[in-house]
Amino acid sequence: MTVNGYFRSTAHTGAGSIILRDLPFTAASGSNNYAVLNIGESFNLTKSTDTVIAGYVIPGTDRVQLRQMDTDTATTSTQNVSMDTAFDLLFTIIYRTA
């Protein structure tokens, strides 16, 4: 399944990490079925220095977890992307369905 998307949040008041949900189909389950979220552009997402925004489809769900990937070659740390009040995200996902 290929999904091209544009997600906009304009007045969010919650907290926590960003998880996009309600993909058209549930992803296949199992540890071999992680699918990568390709981000074309993002606007107004707060992130740590020297990181890029990335993400993956959580196997067995209809959800995408956004992550910050460290660009420093000395480390390989990742962390969730925190919710911002307003942001835009343009993305593509190709994933195997259940």
pTM: 0.80
Average pLDDT over residues 83-92: 86
Q: Is 71 left (phi over 0), alpha (psi -120 to 50) or beta?
A: alpha
Share of the chain above pLDDT 70, in %: 95
Residue 63's pLDDT is what? 95
Mean of all residue pLDDT scores within the chain: 87
How does residue 59 score in pLDDT terms, banded at 50, 70 and 90? very high
Instruction: For residues 85 and 33, give the distance between their C-alpha atoms in angstroms, rounded to a whole number.
Output: 31
Contact residues for 72 (Cβ-Cβ < 8 A; gap 6+): 50
Each residue of 15-53: pLDDT tens digit?
A: 788 889 999 999 999 988 889 899 999 888 878 888 888
